[in-house]
Structure 1
Amino acid sequence: MSETILVTGAAGQLGQRVIHHLIETYKVAPGKIVAATRSPERLVALANRGVVTRKADFDDAADLEKAFAGVDRLLIISTDALDTPGKRLGQHKAAVAAAVKADVKHIAYTSMPAPDNSLVTFAPDHLGTENTIKASGIAYTIIRDAWYHDNYLHSMPHNLQGGKWYSATGDGKVSTISRDDCALAIAATLASGTSESAAYTLTGTVSLTNRQIAAIVSEAAGKPLEVVDVNDEQLGQGMRGAGLPGFIADMLVSADANIRAGNFDIVTGDFTKLTGKQPQPLKDFFVAHKAALTAAGGATH
């Protein structure tokens, strides 16, 4: 494939895995991959493998246009600017505008399931970005990643230590998928050379309630875990009391509310359609990460 692929957020966990799968799984020549990030000095290992590295600052429109020059296919990984409402959407709009100026042929974007029907605090960022990309006139692939298995590794070690998981999801169900599986499917779309516009939602094969998830965690870790039902206010207070920043607590409470409302109860076959594989089940993920789950001292990042 002669196309040049640029990955933003290349120093982040998802970006690193996408580039890994482009090279290792889909055999894209490293010289055809551009890894972009605000701090290119963090990309030395990729540069040593022959990957082109560039600076891309989402708060600098001219910088983005320069970074995207000569690129055929652009992956915009959603930024982590969640502390200021509207900031992330502004960054994404700047990236799309720069892509238009740089004459990029295809934009891929990492979104979330059903952003038009969501209680999650950052859903408007994703919906607004999707609409901006669609209005740009550039062919696109939108990849809506479900909640990561990996997200549970932040809270479950602490929950297992105390034997209690405080949850506001009620009887709602959620289908989760590993970050690495999302990276594999994203890399598949980037390497495919498609000129069609499409949207995919990457999920696991089943939707689970909090009690079903607790049972899976408990079995994998070899420790009991009881779900304690709380309301949104109690959950938010508990998270703030544990030292989480307000915007993170609000985001996590909104995610529980979204599950409770049934808005994350989505299962698709899109992962298999894109990769030809089955996604890693939550149980297998927890077994593989048992050391992190049972680590002393609580949360692991």
Structure 2
Amino acid sequence: MNIAVTGASGQLGRLAIDVLTARTGPAGIVALARTPDKVADLGIETRAFDYEQAETLAAALKGVDTLILISSSEIGQRVRQHRNVIDAAKAATVKRILYTSLLHADTSVVSLAAEHRETEADLKASGVDFTILRNGWYTENYTSSIHSALQSGVFIGSAGQGKLASATRKDFAEALAIVAMSDGPASKVYELAGDDAWTLSDLAAEISRQTGRTIPYRDLPAADYAAALVTAGLPEGLADAIAGWDVAASQGGLFDDGKQLSKLIGRPTTPLAQAVAHALQ
């Protein structure tokens, strides 16, 4: 069975390929990337694959049985880009598509959900067997801010006491690889999230515990948080989006307690304390 991974030069794609090759060896694993040179170090077959170059995609999928479609990072362009890939997969007679969607995309208040809902609908209409992995938030989305918090002495956000059932990219990548290697039922939808939900106050307390410093969590109105992110150097549109995602988290948009992820990977998801320790290295 040949398995191809889109976005292979990205963080999730690389991790998924690492799991696949560790479990099956390099034969039959194909890395698809806009710039193949960026994935040459993976030691597997590479092919050029640019979501925007629709006319080239079907040829790049020749001989592929299972396609892992990692959602595009270009917010606002995703629906069209994903549609290009789905159409190409159908033309290349790919047998199954795995798609990385968003936790509870069908009902989520997170702004990213709308594009995922459209891609899910396109998959269902394509006639190609599919599996949808609705991924929750990456723990790294927050632990990447730890060093900034240590510099400023405070961890800021707009998530209130909203519970975040996050998991690490490695956890999600392992699930992706396991599903790709399995002969699971068609049209399956997984809701994937971490075992233990936490708040930003919990995160700040864990940072404090591990560093021996007092790093409180300061909850800000979304506009103030976005302004702080702009001051830190983020583009205004991205800053507004991040603040909005925190607000969605405060409304329960990033919570799930079904533990489907740990059941898939056969182990507990990575604890927050371990993720914080890794970020502090």
Q: Are 2:6 and 1:8 aligned?
A: yes
In structure 2, the partner of 1:226 is: 216
- Cα displacement (A) at 1:121: 2.9
Report 1:207-226 matches (<5 A).
207-226=197-216
Residues in 1 aligned to 2:240 and 2:167: alpha-carbon distance in whole angstroms: 22
Corresponding residue of 2:274: 284
Gaps in structure 1 of 5+ consecutive residues: 292-301
- Aligned residue number for residue 170 of structure 1: 160
Q: In 1, Cα distance between the equivalents of 2:173 and 2:93?
A: 25
Alignment of 1:65-104 (within 5 A): 65-82=58-75, 85=76, 87-104=77-94
Identical aligned pairs, as a percentage?
A: 34
Aligned 8 A contact 1:174 1:264 in 2: yes
- Tell me what 1:33 maps to: 29
1:225, CA displacement in angstroms? 1.1
One-letter identity of the residue aligned with 1:63: T
Matched, 1:190 2:180: yes
Rounded Cα–Cα distance in structure 2 between residues aligned with 1:227 and 1:167 = 8
* Structure 1 partner of 2:230: 240
In the alignment, the residues of structure 1 paired with residue 187 and residue 108 of structure 2 have an alpha-carbon distance, to the nearest angstrom, of 23
Corresponding residue of 1:145? 135
CA distance in 2, matches of 1:110, 1:254: 21
Name structure 2 gaps, 5 residues minimum.
none
SS in 2 for 1:109: strand
Instruction: Deviation per CA, 1:179-206: give whole Å up to 9, x if none.
Output: 0111111100011133522111221112
Instruction: Tell me how far apart the structure 2 counterparts of residues 286 and 237 of structure 1 sit (CA, whole Å).
Output: 26
Alignment of 1:53-64 (within 5 A): 53-64=46-57
Of 112, 117, 120, the match for 1:122: 112
Q: Separation in 1 of the partners of 2:121 and 2:101? A: 11
Between 1:57-66 and 1:190-199, the stretch displaced more is 190-199
The residue matched to 2:165 in structure 1 has which SS? coil
* 3-state SS in 2 of match to 1:200: strand
AA in 1 matched with 2:58: E
User: Is the contact made by 1:14 and 1:180 (CA closer than 8 Å) also made in structure 2?
Assistant: yes
Superimposed CA distance per residue, residues 262-299 of structure 1 (whole angstroms, 9 cap, x where no aligned partner): 121212221222121111101111123322xxxxxxxx
Equivalent AA in structure 1 for residue 158 of structure 2: A
| Structure 1 vs Structure 2 CA RMSD | 1.4
> Mean Cα displacement is larger for which, 229-238 or 10-19?
229-238
Task: After TM superposition, give the deviation of residue 157 of structure 1 in Å.
Answer: 0.9
Preserved contact between residue 74 and residue 104 of structure 1 (Cα < 8 Å): yes
Contact kept, 8 Å, 1:120 with 1:251, in 2: the verdict is: no
Q: Which amino acid aligns with 1:101?
A: A
After superposition, give the CA deviation of every residue in 1:195-218 in whole Å (9 maximum; x if it has no partner).
522111221112212211211122
Between the two proteins, the alignment pairs up a number of residues equal to: 281
The AA in structure 2 aligned to 1:109 is Y
